[in-house]
Structure 1
Amino acid sequence: MDLNRRDMLVLSGTVAAATLFAPAIQAHAAAPFKLPELPYAEDALAPVISARTVGLHYDKHHAGYFKKLNTLVEKTPYADLSLEEVVVRAKKDGNAPVFNNAAQAWNHNLYWQQFQGGSAPAKGAFAAAAESGFGGIDGLKKKIVAEADNVFGTGWVWLVRDGDKIAVTGMKDAGDPLAEGGKAVLGIDVWEHAYYLDYENRRAEHVAAVLDKLVNWQFVSDRFDA
């Protein structure tokens, strides 16, 4: 059977970053796009991230991106694409409203998923890349915290697979590696809604705590290897 355009894109490297999402994430469903269920209770990340912050972040911000995106893409060619395809296409088209909402929907899908299962250690090729590039996971964490401090205003810090190496990059607003053809293996949200209720202006303290106590590094390792 011949592969159609959707099949080819799903098999391409551009959208490979989404293949590790659990079925509840519904990574490849076309519009109307559905907010995935939070994979744990709202208080599961406390005290690093409070239940109040999770509730506002997930129920208001994350849900809001999906709601706005569905309104924007209704009766447009974007409605026939997967969420990953919308991110890439809208970026290419210069359609900022669609890109911002699609990217933030996708970014947060990964954000919540990477905390599921607790802070398991890194392994395999990812651990080796962290060792060769940053002197180990502790050195990598320090680099991420420093990059978070360099993001002016709102944005994200991403770990991106670059061959057999890891790149740490900060991106403004809704920016993500997916839109640039890269493979994100970790995403740290440094918008104020992610931390301000719990840490006020202490962004670096929040990022360090998330990396030390919440990130499931085995999940990150598996994304790196996939």
Structure 2
Amino acid sequence: MWPVRSLQEKSYSSIRSRQRQRDIGTARCRHHHHPQHLSTNTTHMSMFKPILRLPRRTGLVMPARSSAVPGSASSLSPFSVAAPAPLQQQRSTYATSQEGLANAHTVPLLAHDEAFLRDGVPGLYSAPGFQQAWTRYQSWCIDSLNRLVEGTTYEGISTLDLANITSREPDMASIFNYASMAFNNHFFFETLSGTGGQDPAEHMPLTLKEDLELSFGSLETLQRELIITANAMFGPGFVWLVRLRDQSGGPQRFPYRVLATYLAGSPFPAAHWR
């Protein structure tokens, strides 16, 4: 689910006209579209870059910390190549980079954490693949988020609450992106089966099966819709199985839907226009 950058460029032809024997001239406009931002460049327009201004807590002493994370080349990128660290060091890697921060976010332990680190995720990730997709990437998201909220009124707030609070604030886009991605990535890995579906205790309850069949007709139809939705996505993101509610809060007759979000997008209503 690593971000894949793409660039689409549309060039509009020149328009030349005369009105009242006055040459209007040639107008040229070029737009560059990017999944993460939209910029427009003309001869009379300059880019406005918002400045991140967060309310700082008074009297807070910022602790010194190392810029590098043990076991990786740099804390600024999850894609750096490094020799595999011992199991115990992998789980303490991030904690050492945030030493002295009382309210810092940390990489949570998964239900099948040790098994995934040792053997990988059955049918999905090898052990090195899991380390890259979860341990390194989640550490990078959390470390980047802590650097942004350290010493502000947003320090100590959960990743989900941070995503909901900052989702409609343009100058808080960086906080939203890291908080929402940290939550989404954790949600994905926390729900993975430790046995590849072989343990009967991991099978879905009968009531859930009936509700899903009511919404999609059959579990095979749901599986097909999930795969089709994922294959149709243009860029990285997540595919969610969500349950809808009416305005009174009660379940609708067809409560489940398949929803796609791109990059760090959030599926929660609180993160959208209200």
AA at the equivalent of 1:36: P
Q: Which residue does 1:121 correspond to in 2?
A: 203
Are the counterparts in 1 of residues 104 and 156 from structure 2 also a CA contact under 8 Å?
no
Task: List runs of 5+ in structure 1 lacking aligned partners.
Answer: 1-29, 183-226
Alignment counterpart, residue 261 of structure 2, candidates 171, 176, 183: 171
Bigger share in helix = 1
Deviation (angstroms), 1:44: 4.0
Q: Which has the larger radius of gyration?
A: 2
Deviation (angstroms), 1:117: 4.5
Report the Cα distance in structure 1 between the residues aligned to 2:120 and 2:134, rounded to whole angstroms. 13
Report the Cα distance in structure 1 between the residues aligned to 2:266 and 2:243, rounded to whole angstroms. 13
AA at the equivalent of 1:141: Q
1:58-81 deviation digits (Å, cap 9, x = unpaired): 122111100100001111221142
Alignment counterpart, residue 97 of structure 1, candidates 174, 177, 185: 174
Deviation (angstroms), 1:116: 4.0
1:69-127 deviation digits (Å, cap 9, x = unpaired): 00011112211422221010110323211111001111122111111454232224421
AA at the equivalent of 1:135: G
**TM-score normalised by the chain length of structure 2:** 0.51
SS at match of 1:109: helix
Task: List runs of 5+ in structure 2 lacking aligned partners.
Answer: 1-101, 246-250
Report the Cα distance in structure 2 between the residues aligned to 1:109 and 1:48, rounded to whole angstroms. 16
RMSD: 2.0
Q: Which residue does 1:27 correspond to in 2?
A: none
Deviation (angstroms), 1:131: 0.3
Are the counterparts in 2 of residues 156 and 176 from structure 1 also a CA contact under 8 Å?
no
SS at match of 1:181: helix
Q: Which residue does 1:216 correspond to in 2?
A: none
Report the Cα distance in structure 2 between the residues aligned to 1:31 and 1:173, rounded to whole angstroms. 26
AA at the equivalent of 2:188: Y
Are the counterparts in 1 of residues 230 and 239 from structure 2 also a CA contact under 8 Å?
yes
Report the Cα distance in structure 2 between the residues aligned to 1:129 and 1:155, rounded to whole angstroms. 26
User: Does the alignment pair 1:148 with 2:230?
Assistant: yes
Runs of 4+ in 1 over 4 A off after TM superposition: none
1:79-90 mapped onto 2 (5 Å cutoff)? 79-90=155-166
Q: Which residue does 2:107 correspond to in 1?
A: 35
Q: Which residue does 2:135 correspond to in 1?
A: 59
Higher relative contact order (CA 8 A, sep 6+): 1
User: Does the alignment pair 1:181 with 2:274?
Assistant: no
